[in-house]
Amino acid sequence: MSHDYRVVQWTPFKKTFDLWLGSGIIVFLAAHVASAVFAFPPDQHASEVQLALRASGSCAFALLSLILAIGPAARLSPRFLPLLYNRRHMGVVCFLIALLHGGLVVFWYHGFSGMNPLVSVLVSNSEFHSARGFPFETLGVGALLILFVMAATSHDFWNANLGPGLWKAIHMSVYGAYVLIVGHVMLGAAQGDEGFAWALAVGISAALVMGLHLGAGVLEARRGALMRRIVAEGWLRVGAALDIPDTRARVVSPPKGERIAVFRDGDRIHAISNVCRHQGGPLGEGRIVDGSITCPWHGFQYRPEDGCSPPPYSERVATYRTRIQNGIVFVHPEALPLGTGPGPTLIGGASPAPSDCSGEVRDV
Amino acid sequence: MSDDPFFIGWSPDLHKIDRRFLLLATFGLMAGGGGVAAFLGRQGQPPGPGIWDQSAIAGHSGLLVQTPWPMLRMIGDDGAPQTAFLATTGKLAVRLAANARGWVKVRGSLISRGENRMIAVDDGHWLGASEGIEPPGLRDWPEEDLGAAHLVGEILDAKCWFGAMRPGYGKTHKACATLCAKGGLPLAFCQTGSCGSGVDAPLFLDADGRRHGRDILPFIADRVMAKGRMVRVGDVVQFRVARPDIHRV
């Protein structure tokens, strides 16, 4: 969490994850190169550099497709959450493989001439008006720049210093990079002899990524529609208190502002913002662990009573007032000042006094 | 640990259900990824039988000619005249004095594909007088009109296609081919479907048998339809096409 910064805060899971990630990449690259070598007579396979640049390009695209699929897959089934936890490492590795691909292209196709290879990438072809002749390399350069910015700012240091909103906005540009790469392939390799296979592979990957996002979006919309029931005095109806699973939450969508996660912790009801301050993870899909609401993405924790991360951490999310009438939970959509809490609402009893981040009980 | 599986990345505990699922997912992804990689790796035509052993530098004696591109007319193993074009090891044409011609010796490495040949000249003093005597018949360039031709294919740089690149054709090679063309290297034309495995690609020249100008550059490596005449000059076949008769397909 935010207490200190190390290059990588290694955990046993991250080490295992990276080991498998590295193995998967090696398998992909080896299979790509080996099949290209053995598909043709020994003296007729592609040159070593061209084998490497093809394999690295395929690998970077496949990895980026996987990275983009993990997010919605984790929304559809929490079983995919462990893949999301270390997704940033995949992103950095994806950038490095894409950089290898781009470096080989610049060296091989744009080198050995009288022109600066980097300049050549941008000026050797100006057929922007032609789909057949389009300089697809420029799209790859754009995508690589986006991936670079994302990799360079992937550390929590940047998240904390840029702020979660800006950081998230920067990292949402991955979708722009993906669109550029789809264009890069479709206007490049897909127009060659092997075009059909490339168009098929890219089309299926992009359709899978879009389908998963649509599926997760529909699920979110259904959840939101069920919970968007506004009653008198601006209070939102959440549902029967005992219908909220213990240590879990229901999420409601107010007319404006962030979604609200309403948790049940035994006989206590708490409401906090659904948006984790780390990377915007859905707190309402998390759980109360050791007395703290725990984000399903990276395990950031917040005290349910005041929305503050337990010491020594300093993240805070907004809390909201709740009430129970006839066993039905209601939440008021107006966020309380950060670091303060209204105190929980008890199911079938009086509510304790409110508190703040210091843990002190406040006068009402 | 609770029966309700909930993954926390920093926690040393990983629920058994999660562990089993992750192992299955990981093996599935690796197998699927490997399969896709193997499928993509074997796509396309073979890059062709072009060979360039850059370490095999030798002296080649022949008659130096400068048009339409610098070339050396030599006597082959079968005693018949054969042509080898000249290039640098990079994407630039050789630089010759305006009066350089005649019986010479060129040092360089041979790039070959079928009967097509090119010599990538060595750095430094690659051109010198040949110690041998010019054999008869090298200055005879019988020109034979092979008739009209209307072909669909790709304009490419001969050096890469002969074997400097493998493959040396197609959209992904467009920038490289354009640089080679700008650098003054010979252009050739391969018909669609035979660019990868074929060994025949006539030189690509204008209707008068001269080099095309820079207005040809936008068409390089694109699929084009070209209408012109095939002409054999010595052992070299030329596809002579006027610029207005080249159309992008």
Q: Which amino acid is residue B237, in one-letter code?
A: V
**Are A120 and B166 an interchain contact pair (Cβ–Cβ within 8 Å)?**
no
Give the CA-trace dihedral at B79, B80, B86, B89, to 10 degrees.
Answer: -50
Cβ neighbours, 10 Å, residue B246: 21
How is residue B245 annotated by DSSP? G
Q: Which of A167, A202, A223 is the last residue of a domain?
A: A223
Q: How far is CA A113 from the centre of its chain?
A: 42
- Scanning every residue of chain A, which has its alpha carbon at the shortest distance from the alpha carbon of B52? A47
Cis peptide before A312 (omega within 30 of 0): yes
Distances, alpha carbon B202 to alpha carbons B68, B84, B143, B188, B199, in Å: 13, 14, 14, 5, 10
DSSP states along B150-180? EEEEEEEEHHIIIIISSS--SGGGHHHHHHH
| A2 interface with B at CB cutoff 8 Å | no
Confidence of residue A179 (pLDDT cuts 50, 70, 90): very high
Residues A311 and A174 in one domain: no
Would you state the structure tokens that stand for residue A228, as one six-digit string?
A: 């968007």
Q: Which of A176, A196, A223 is the last residue of a domain?
A: A223
Bigger pLDDT: A342 vs A42:
A342
Residues A286 and A209 in one domain: no
* Pairwise CA distance, residues A145 & A143, whole Å: 5
Nearest to A103 by CA among A141, A68, A61: A141
* Pairwise CA distance, residues B243 & B216, whole Å: 7
Contact partners, residue B78, CB within 8 Å, separation at least 6:
none
Residues A275 and A305 in one domain: yes
pTM of model > 0.90 = no
Is residue A361 one of the residues assigned to a domain? no
**Are A29 and B37 an interchain contact pair (Cβ–Cβ within 8 Å)?**
yes
**Are B43 and A193 an interchain contact pair (Cβ–Cβ within 8 Å)?**
yes
Q: How does pLDDT run across A195-235, given as a tens digit for each residue?
A: 788 899 999 999 999 999 999 999 877 766 555 555 556 88
pLDDT (0 to 100) of residue A358: 64
| A78 interface with B at CB cutoff 8 Å | yes
Read off the pLDDT of each residue in A112-117 and give the average, rounded to a whole number: 92
* Pairwise CA distance, residues A182 & A326, whole Å: 55
Nearest to A143 by CA among A212, A192, A94: A94
Q: ipTM score of the complex?
A: 0.91
Q: Going by DSSP bridges, is the β-strand pair A301-302/B51-65 parallel, antiparallel, or unpaired?
A: unpaired
Residues A313 and A180 in one domain: no
Does residue A76 have a pLDDT over 80? yes
Residues A242 and A204 in one domain: no
Helix, strand or coil for residue A315?
A: coil
* Pairwise CA distance, residues B162 & A276, whole Å: 59
pLDDT (0 to 100) of residue A227: 53
Nearest to A168 by CA among A74, A278, A253: A278
What total number of domains does chain A contain? 2
**Exposed / middle / buried, residue B86 (Cβ in 10 Å: 0-12, 13-18, 19+):** buried
Of A109, A187, A197, the CB nearest to B39: A197
Residues A247 and A211 in one domain: no
**Are A112 and B90 an interchain contact pair (Cβ–Cβ within 8 Å)?**
yes
Is residue A314 one of the residues assigned to a domain? yes
pLDDT in tens, chain B (249 residues): 455 678 887 777 766 667 888 899 999 999 999 999 999 998 877 788 999 999 999 999 999 999 999 999 999 888 889 999 999 999 999 999 998 989 999 999 999 999 999 999 998 899 999 888 899 888 888 899 999 999 999 999 999 999 999 999 999 999 999 999 999 999 999 999 889 888 999 999 999 999 999 999 999 999 999 999 999 999 999 999 999 999 998
b/e code B13-52 from CB counts within 10 Å (16+ = b): ebbeebeebbeebbeebbeebbebbbbbbbbbbbbbbbeb
**Are B33 and A34 an interchain contact pair (Cβ–Cβ within 8 Å)?**
no
pLDDT (0 to 100) of residue A352: 58
DSSP states along B101-162? -EEEEEEEEEEEETTEEEEEEPSSS-EEE-SS-PPTTTT---EEEEEEEEEEEEEEEHHIII
- Scanning every residue of chain B, which has its alpha carbon at the shortest distance from the alpha carbon of A107? B176
Residues A138 and A248 in one domain: no
Q: How does pLDDT run across A287-315, given as a tens digit for each residue?
A: 999 999 999 998 999 999 999 999 888 88
> What are the φ and ψ backbone dihedral angles of A32, each rounded to 5 degrees?
-65, -50
Of A35, A59, A82, the CB nearest to B18: A82
Q: How does pLDDT run across A133-154, given as a tens digit for each residue?
A: 899 999 999 999 999 999 999 9
**Are A113 and B33 an interchain contact pair (Cβ–Cβ within 8 Å)?**
no
**Exposed / middle / buried, residue A221 (Cβ in 10 Å: 0-12, 13-18, 19+):** exposed
Residues A349 and A287 in one domain: yes
Is residue A280 one of the residues assigned to a domain? yes
Chain B partners of A136 at a C-beta cutoff of 8 Å? 171
Q: How far is CA A191 from the centre of its chain?
A: 32
pLDDT (0 to 100) of residue A82: 87
Does residue A1 have a pLDDT over 70? no
Of A113, A133, A201, the CB nearest to B222: A133
Q: Which of A223, A246, A271 is the last residue of a domain?
A: A223
Is residue A4 one of the residues assigned to a domain? no
| A289 interface with B at CB cutoff 8 Å | yes
Is residue A2 one of the residues assigned to a domain? no
Chain B partners of A29 at a C-beta cutoff of 8 Å? 37
| A133 interface with B at CB cutoff 8 Å | yes
Residues A201 and A293 in one domain: no
Distances, alpha carbon B222 to alpha carbons A131, A191, B152, B194, in Å: 10, 9, 10, 15
b/e code B206-243 from CB counts within 10 Å (16+ = b): beeeebbeeebbbbbbbbbebebbbbebbebbbbbbee
**Are B10 and A9 an interchain contact pair (Cβ–Cβ within 8 Å)?**
yes
Q: How does pLDDT run across A89-107, given as a tens digit for each residue?
A: 999 999 999 999 999 999 9
Q: Going by DSSP bridges, is the β-strand pair B203-205/B236-240 parallel, antiparallel, or unpaired?
A: parallel
Q: How does pLDDT run across A26-53, given as a tens digit for each residue?
A: 999 999 999 999 988 877 889 999 999 9
Residues A214 and A312 in one domain: no
Of A32, A50, A83, the CB nearest to B37: A32
| A115 interface with B at CB cutoff 8 Å | yes
| CATH class of the domain comprising B51-129 | mainly beta
Residues A24 and A168 in one domain: yes
Identify whether the C-beta of residue A331 lies closer than 8 Å to the C-beta of residue A342: no
Is residue A126 one of the residues assigned to a domain? yes
Helix, strand or coil for residue B96?
A: coil
Is residue A218 one of the residues assigned to a domain? yes
Q: How does pLDDT run across A251-281, given as a tens digit for each residue?
A: 988 888 889 999 999 999 999 999 998 888 9
**Are B47 and A12 an interchain contact pair (Cβ–Cβ within 8 Å)?**
no
Is residue A200 one of the residues assigned to a domain? yes
Domain encompassing residue A270? 232-356
Helix, strand or coil for residue A245?
A: coil
> What are the φ and ψ backbone dihedral angles of A104, each rounded to 5 degrees?
-65, -40
Cβ neighbours, 10 Å, residue A107: 13
pLDDT (0 to 100) of residue A280: 87
Residues A198 and A251 in one domain: no
**Are B47 and A47 an interchain contact pair (Cβ–Cβ within 8 Å)?**
yes
* Pairwise CA distance, residues B4 & B17, whole Å: 10
| A290 interface with B at CB cutoff 8 Å | no
List the domain boundaries for chain B: 51-129, 143-248
Chain A partners of B248 at a C-beta cutoff of 8 Å? 130, 132-133
Bigger pLDDT: A347 vs A360:
A347
Q: Is A247 left (phi over 0), alpha (psi -120 to 50) or beta?
A: left
What is the CATH classification number for the domain harbouring A246? 2.102.10.10
pLDDT (0 to 100) of residue A363: 44
Confidence of residue A130 (pLDDT cuts 50, 70, 90): confident
pLDDT (0 to 100) of residue A193: 67
Q: Report CA torsion sign: A94, A190, B197, A108.
A: negative
